[in-house]
Amino acid sequence: MKAEFWLERWEQNQIGFHQDEFNNHLQAFWSGLAVPAGGQVFVPLCGKSRDMLWLRAQGFMVTGVEVSPIAVRDFFAENGLDVTISSQGKLERWESDGLVILLGDFFDLQAEDVADCSAVFDRASLIALPPDMRLRYAQHFISILPTHAQTLLVTLEYAQEEMKGPPFAVGEEEIQGYYAQAFALERLFVTDVLAENPGFRQRGLTRLEEKVYRLTPA
Q: Contacts with ligand SAM: how many residues (CB under 6 A)?
A: 20
> If binding is defined by CB under 6 A, does position 93 make contact with ligand SAM?
no
DSSP state of 156: E
The smaller minimum CB distance to ligand SAM, of residues 158 and 184, is found at 158
> If binding is defined by CB under 6 A, does position 66 make contact with ligand SAM?
yes
Residue selected from 67, 126, 145, 170 as contacting ligand SAM according to rule CB under 6 A: 67
The residue range among 79-87, 103-111, 145-153, 196-204 that interacts with ligand SAM, by the rule CB under 6 A, is 103-111
> If binding is defined by CB under 6 A, does position 3 make contact with ligand SAM?
yes
Residue selected from 123, 134, 211, 214 as contacting ligand SAM according to rule CB under 6 A: 123
Determine the angle formed by the axes of helices 3-11 and 69-78, rounding to 10 degrees: 40
Closest Cα partner for 105 from 72, 83, 56? 72
Alpha-carbon distance 109 to 46, whole Å?
14
For 34-123, list the strands marked E by DSSP. Answer: 40-43, 61-66, 84-88, 91-96, 99-103, 117-123
* HSE value, Cβ hemisphere, 13 Å, CA-based, for 150: 16
The residue range among 45-53, 138-146, 178-186, 208-216 that interacts with ligand SAM, by the rule CB under 6 A, is 45-53
> If binding is defined by CB under 6 A, does position 18 make contact with ligand SAM?
yes
> If binding is defined by CB under 6 A, does position 17 make contact with ligand SAM?
yes
> If binding is defined by CB under 6 A, does position 124 make contact with ligand SAM?
yes
Spell out a b/e string for 96-135, using b for 16 or more CB atoms within 10 Å of the CB, else e. Answer: beebbbbbbebeebeeebbeebbbbbbbbbbbbbeeebbe
Q: CB–CB of 169/191 below 8 Å?
A: no
Residue selected from 30, 60, 106, 200 as contacting ligand SAM according to rule CB under 6 A: 106
Residues found near ligand SAM in the complex (CB under 6 A): 3, 6, 10, 17-18, 45-47, 49, 65-68, 71, 105-107, 123-124, 128
